[in-house]
Each structure stands twice: as C-alpha cells, then as structure tokens.
Chain A
Amino acid sequence: MRFIEPVVEVRNCEPPPILGRWRNINLLVLGWLAFLIVLFYAFTRYFS
C-alpha cells in the first residue's frame, strides 16, 4: 500500500512568467528566506 502518491497530478502546470520553471522560482523563494535568516542573524550578532 503506497501512501505518498498525490491524488491529483500537479506536475503539468503552466510555466511561470519569469525564470522559466516553477522549481527555479521555488528555489528563489527558499534562497531569499535563507538569505534573510543569515542577514538577520548577522544583524543580531553585529548589534548585540
């Protein structure tokens, strides 16, 4: 019994208007989050 198959196939989504693929946009968002965390951490360390 497999429990990890998505019920609706979501792979064939229309492409995003920028960066070509959704994977690239997702990586951009997660990279932005990582950048913010590092930036805020540096901010915390520098001013404390």
Chain B
Amino acid sequence: MHLADWITMILTVLLIPCFGLWKGRGSKTTDDYLRAGKSMPWYAMGLSIMATQASAVTFIATTGQAYVDGMRFVQFYFGLPVAMVILSATAVPIFHRAGVYTAYEYLEKRFDARTRALAATVFLIQRGMAVGLSMYAPAIVMSVIFGWPDRITTLVIGIICVVYTTKGGIPAVTWTDVMQMSVIFAGLILGLVTVVSLLPHGVGFADAVYLAGTVGKLNAVDLKFDPNNRYNLWSGLIGGGFLALGYFGCDQSQVQRYLTGKSEAQSRLSLLFNAMAKVPMQFFILFVGAMVFVFYLFAQPPMLFEKDAMAVVSNQPGYAAVQAGFDKAWERRKHAAELIDAARKRDDSAALARSTAEYRAAQTDVDAARKVGIDLYKKVRGGDFNDTNYIFLTFVTKYFPLGIVGLVIGVIFTAAMSSSSGELNSLATVSVVDLYRRHFKPEASDTHYLMVSRIFTAIWGAWAVVFAQYAKQLGSLVEAVNQIGSFFYPVLLGVFILAFFFRRVGGTAAFWAMLLGEATIVACATFTKVAFLWYNVIGAVAVVVFGVLLSLAQRDAPGQEA
C-alpha cells in the first residue's frame, strides 16, 4: 500500500473510536455504562444495531458472493423486516417495562433463576466463540492479500476495540457504531462509483447492468419453493425470519442496543429503521459485487483469487493447459461482451441476440475452466475451496485509486471493530448482571459493579484476542463454529416464545424444555441430514412443544406448579 493509503486507513480506524469516546464520555454509574442511562435516540440505536450485525466478512464476502453466484443472497434478509415488526411490538415493550439490563434477567422475572442462568450461559458460550472469529476473519484475508501477519492484525484490532469498549461502555460503543456505519455507507457508495468509472470507455452503466443480468448475476428473487435451494423467497421469509427473531430478540448483543433507548417508542423505531434499511443495504452491497463481475469481463481476472491457492495450482503438472483453457474462455467472453456493447449502440436486435447467446456460452466455458482449476487445487490440498472472500479485496488493491484503497481497508477494519465491540460489551453485561451480581455478590455498591463491568469487558477482550490467535489451528472447525448460532439461537428463541405467549408454562417446564430442545437439535445434527438453517425452526418449535407438554403434565401432578 502507498503512504496515502496508510494515512487514510489509520485515520479511519483511529479517529472514529476517539469520536465515540468523546461523545460517550462521563459514564459514572453502571446504568450509564451498560444502558447509556437510557438516553439514546432511535437513529443512534438503529445504526448501532446495523453496525453490530455487519461484520468485516459481510462486506468482503457478500460482494464476492454476487460475483460468483449473483444477487440471490439478498433473499436471505427478506424475513428480517417481518421479525423486526414482531419484536418491536412484543420484545421491546416487554423488556422496557420489566426494567431489565439483559434479556435473560427477564427470564427470572417470568420463570426462575436457573432458567435465567441457563439462557445466560448458552449466550456466553455461543457469543464467546463468535467474538474471537469476528476479529480473526478480516485478519486472515489481509494476511493473504497483503502478507500482513494475522496475529499482529488481530492484536491491533483487539487492542483498539478493548480500549474504547472498556473505557466508554455502551455509549462509546453506540456512538462509535454510528460513525462507523456512516463511513461504511460512504465507502460503499464510493466503491460503486469507482467500479463503474473503471469500466472501459464506451461501456456505460446501462450496458454494465445488461451484461450482468444476461448471465444471471442480477437474479435477486426466485419464487420457486425448493427445500434444496438455500436462497429463495420462501427460505428467506421463513428461515431468515426465524433466524432474525432469534438473533434480534434473544441475543444480548442486539437486545442491549435497544435497551439504551430514551423511551420505548425510540427503541421500537430503531428496530423498524433497521427493518427498512437492511434489505436495500444488502442489495446495494451485492450490486457492487455484480459490477465487479462486469469489470472483470474486460480486465482478465486471476483463475483463483486466493494467492496461496494459485501458487499451489501453478506448481502442479498440467497447470499450463488449465490456465490456457481459462485464458481462452475469458478472451471469448470478452469478445462477446464487446459485440453486445456494439450491437446495443447500433440498436441492432439480431446482432444483439447472436452476441448474447455467444456471451452466455462463453460464460459457461469460463465457469467450467475455473472449476478445472479449483479441482486441481482440491486434488492437492483436499477439502472444500471457496475464494469469494478474496475477490473484492483483490480488485480494490489492484485497481482502486490512491487513498481510496486505504479507505476501503479502513472500512473493513471498522466493520470488524463495530461488531466485536458490541459483542464484548454484551458479554461483559451478561457476565456481571446475570452471573456475578445475581449469584456471587448481590449486595455491592454501584461503583463496585461499574469497576467489575470494566474488568469483565477487558477479560472478554483478552479472551477474544487469544481465541483469535488460535483460530487458524481450528481449520475446518471455523465453519463449524460459525454454524453454532443455529445450535443455540433456537433454544433461546423457544424459551422467549414460552415466556411471552404461554402464560401457564412455569419455570421448571421452561428449564427442561430448553435442555430437551437442545437435545433435539443435537439429535437432528447427528442422525439426520437436515440443513443447519432448519435447526432454527425445529429447535424453537421443540422447546415450545416440550414446554407446553411438561407444563400440562405438571398441572396434572398434585402439588406441582401450574
């Protein structure tokens, strides 16, 4: 990177947390530190929720996803607005009126202490593993693209995050998130403008959209119901809806954002703002990826975007023939794309139809040639191969103008910090409120709890950095850890559904229903081939069914709670 890029990146990464610390200064009580004294306006909470949810990989991988697979991934978010409407009408008023610091504190008011402790522990296990990966994921990408040591990158992200989260608490985290999200939006717009401006002379925006759409890169909506197809309208609305209900309604890293609202109405608005902004934002990110695809119609892309994988493949016998096949297919596609552009300018529909057919056939050839390269890599290294995380950054570092590269890298670091800081803050809150204060030291001064909250934030930060240092050794387990959310969220969602809507279900039934629900998910994972996204539905339904049945059984047993 050039000096200008280093300066832009460092300014982006350092100045924003400083702003957050300044804006969120003066946390003198536990309530200030953990709930911002219930003073946040809706737009700050809304942007903070979006920032916590959007990790670095969201920006790196989503653009790459559109390049490879088109825009159908946007359907995954269709259930989110529905979930937001449900939660803003149920969870937000319930949590606000209960006056709780954490979602799990409400479970004790509704059920009993052990149900609360179990839910809090489930959250700590799941989020404790995720926070290390939030820090590690961008580091591994930077190490491949720039050769930066991933341990140092993780350490730098971790230290900055821990400093501003420990010092400023949730006010600093929220105001930092607001600025970070603004920079992310600006970076995305700048990214799209730059991609389009880099297209060859004569290829306009309309031509680019036509070229992307012709080979299915703009396939945003698929109405056909197919359980084997991961992304269609129905899996997005149902599976995505359940996932969003679990994430925004039961995960403290999200719940804590809207508990800081100055009023119930402000908190409800923050979720509904997220409901309206999230889908267009994801569409926009995917569209940037589709435009990167169009750019690479005219500038030759590497056969594999991951440098290490390319190095492995290039040392194999037969590589020259594979690369030559890819080059030839790409030349054919480029020629067809130029013919389309010329035919569109002449308004020659017959030539356009011919060149479009040729372009589609050439795209199939390019995909097939790339697959041969991937197969060659897999033959040497085994396992799966996925280089979508490297596509956007490869493009940015090679073609973006001076200064803008630094800004985009800064945005990616910023996204990593915004999600990690929210996670650290929520982990500390649950550790202090649901475990330490509840079970170990219930009668201490507010100053003591404030100090302990800071200590727990630092401890979880240190844990995240250490966990991230060893994430590389987890190998294929990284994918497994990413799927852990689908093992735990459904159980939390199920117990909150019982709490909100099933008045007769008591603490004992809820506690055992959680354990039986978790056992059901483990059984599904062990004995069936059901895709892990469906665990969200199966687990939540299992907890509700077990809760109701156990409650009925208890009611029939004399002397038991109803």
A10 near B218 (CB under 8 angstroms)?
no
- Is there an interface contact between B268 and A13, defined as CB atoms closer than 8 Å? yes
Please indicate the chain A residues that have their CB under 8 angstroms from the CB of B94 in the complex. 6-8, 10
Within 8 Å CB of A29, what residues of B?
A: 81, 84-85, 272, 275-276
Interface size class of B (residues with CB under 8 A): 35 or more
- A47 near B501: Cβ-Cβ < 8 Å: no
Contact of A30 among B81, B219, B269 (CB under 8 A): B81
The number of A-B residue pairs with CB atoms under 8 Å apart is 106
Determine chain B's interface SS by DSSP, over half rule: helix
Known: A3-B502, A6-B500, A37-B221. A16 touches B275 (CB 8 A): no
Is B110 close to A, CB under 8 A? yes
Contacts of A41 in B (CB 8 A): 220-221, 223
> A1-B504, A8-B97, A30-B81 are contacts. A13–B221 as well, Cβ < 8 Å?
no
Interface size class of A (residues with CB under 8 A): 20 to 34
User: Please, how many angstroms separate the alpha-carbon atoms of A27 and B82 in the complex?
Assistant: 10
B264 at interface, CB cutoff 8 A: yes
B64-94, CB < 8 A from A: 74, 78, 81-82, 84-85, 88-90, 93-94
Contact A14 B276 (CB under 8 A): no
CB of B494 to closest CB in A, whole Å: 14
Name B192-207 residues within 8 Å CB distance of A: none
Give, as a whole number of angstroms, the nearest-CB distance from A17 to chain B: 7
Pick the contact of A6: B81, B90, B98, B504 (CB < 8 A).
Answer: B90
Find chain B residues with CB under 8 A from A22 CB.
88-89, 268
Which residues of chain A come closer than 8 Å to B98, judged between CB atoms?
A: 8
Given contacts A8-B93, A29-B81, contact A48 B504 (CB under 8 A): no
Chain B residue, CB-CB nearest to A47: B213
Chain A min CB distance to B78 (Å): 7
Bound complex: CA of A14 vs CA of B503, how far in Å?
24
Q: Are A13 and B264 in contact (CB under 8 A)?
A: yes
* Contact call B503/A17, Cβ cutoff below 8 A: no
Residues on the A chain within 8 Å of B280, using CB: 36
Contacts of A7 in B (CB 8 A): 94, 110, 499-503
Asked whether A3 and B504 contact (CB < 8 A) given A10-B94, A13-B268, the answer is yes
Q: How far is the CA of A40 from the CA of B73 in the complex (A)?
A: 12
A2–B552 CA distance with the chains assembled, in angstroms: 12
Contact call B213/A3, Cβ cutoff below 8 A: no
Residue B209 lies at the interface, judged by CB distance under 8 Å to chain A = yes
- Would you call B33 an interface residue if the criterion is a C-beta within 8 Å of the partner chain's C-beta atoms? no
> Is B210 in contact with chain A by the CB < 8 A criterion?
yes
* B322 in contact (CB, < 8 A): no
Q: How far, in whole Å, are A20 and B240 apart by their CA atoms in the complex?
A: 30
A12 CB to closest chain B CB (Å) equals 9
Chain A residues with CB below 8 A from B74, complex form: 40
Residue of A nearest to B499 (CB): A7
Q: Which residues of B contact A8 (CB under 8 A)?
A: 93-94, 97-98, 500
Interface contact B216-A37, CB-CB below 8 Å: no
Which B residues lie within 8 Å of A30 (CB)?
Answer: 81-82, 85
Kindly identify which residue among A6, A13, A40 contacts B501, using a CB–CB cutoff of 8 Å: A6
Closest Cβ neighbor of B218 among chain A residues = A47
Question: What chain B residues lie within 8 Å of A48 (beta carbons)?
Answer: 213-214, 216, 218-219
B268 partner residues in chain A, CB cutoff 8 A: 13, 16, 22
- The answer, among B89, B279, B552, for a CB contact under 8 Å with A1, is B552
Q: In whole Å, how far is A27's beta carbon from the nearest beta carbon of chain B? A: 9
Report Cα–Cα, A46/B85, bound state, in Å: 31
Docked complex Cα distance between A22 and B501 (Å): 20
In-complex Cβ contact of A47 among B85, B210, B283 (8 A): B210
Contact check, A3 vs B548: say whether CB atoms are below 8 A apart.
Answer: yes
CA distance A25 to B427 in the complex (A): 32
B212 within 8 A of A: yes
CB distance B272 to A44 under 8 Å? no
A13 and B220 contact, Cβ closer than 8 Å, known pairs A3-B548, A5-B501, A7-B500:
no
8 closest A-B pairs (Cβ-Cβ)?
A: A47-B213, A40-B220, A10-B93, A41-B221, A33-B81, A8-B94, A47-B218, A40-B221
Q: Which B positions have Cβ atoms within 8 angstroms of A?
A: 74, 78, 81-82, 84-85, 88-90, 93-94, 97-98, 110, 209-210, 212-214, 216, 218-223, 233, 263-265, 268-269, 272, 275-276, 279-280, 283, 499-504, 548, 552, 555
Chain A contact residues, CB within 8 Å of chain B: 1-8, 10, 13-17, 22, 25-26, 29-30, 32-33, 36-37, 40-41, 43-44, 46-48
12 pairs from A and B in contact (CB 8 Å cutoff) = A2-B504, A3-B504, A17-B265, A25-B272, A26-B272, A32-B275, A33-B78, A33-B275, A40-B221, A40-B283, A44-B218, A44-B222
Given contacts A2-B503, A43-B220, 11 further A-B contacts (CB under 8 A): A1-B552, A1-B555, A3-B501, A8-B98, A16-B268, A29-B81, A29-B276, A36-B279, A37-B78, A47-B212, A48-B219
